[in-house]
Amino acid sequence: MSFRENLQYLRRRENITQEDLAERLEVSRQTVSKWESGACYPEMEKLLQLCDMFHIDLDTLLRGSVERDQAADTACYDRAMNVFTWQVALSVGALIAAAALTMLLEAGGLPEMVTGAVFLLVLTAAVVVLVAGGIQYSFFREKHPVIEDFYTEEQRDAFRRRFVWCIAGGVGAILFGMVLTVLFFCVFPEREPYESWIMSAFLLIVAGAVTTFIYAGMQHQKYQIDRYNRDNDPAPAVKARQRLISAIHGALMLLAAAVYVGLGLTRGTWRTDWWLFAVGGILCGVVSALLDPYRDE
pLDDT tens per residue, range 24-46: 888 888 888 888 888 888 888 88
User: Do 11 and 129 fall within a single domain?
Assistant: no
Q: Is residue 215's pLDDT more than 80?
A: yes
Which DSSP state fits 270? T
Q: CA nearest 276: which of 260, 254, 252?
A: 260
Q: Is residue 57's pLDDT more than 80?
A: no
User: Do 19 and 139 fall within a single domain?
Assistant: no
For residue range 281-290, list pLDDT tens digits in order.
Answer: 778 878 887 8
User: Do 173 and 126 fall within a single domain?
Assistant: yes
User: Do 17 and 154 fall within a single domain?
Assistant: no
Q: CA nearest 197: which of 72, 282, 128, 107?
A: 107
Yes or no: say if 93 and 170 are a contact pair by the CB < 8 Å rule.
Answer: no
Please check whether residue 150 lies inside any domain of the structure. yes
Mean pLDDT of the chain: 84
Say what the pLDDT of residue 166 is: 93
Say what the pLDDT of residue 288 is: 82
Say what the pLDDT of residue 220 is: 92
User: Do 54 and 160 fall within a single domain?
Assistant: no
For residue range 73-130, list pLDDT tens digits in order.
Answer: 667 898 999 999 999 999 989 988 988 888 888 888 888 788 878 888 998 999 899 9
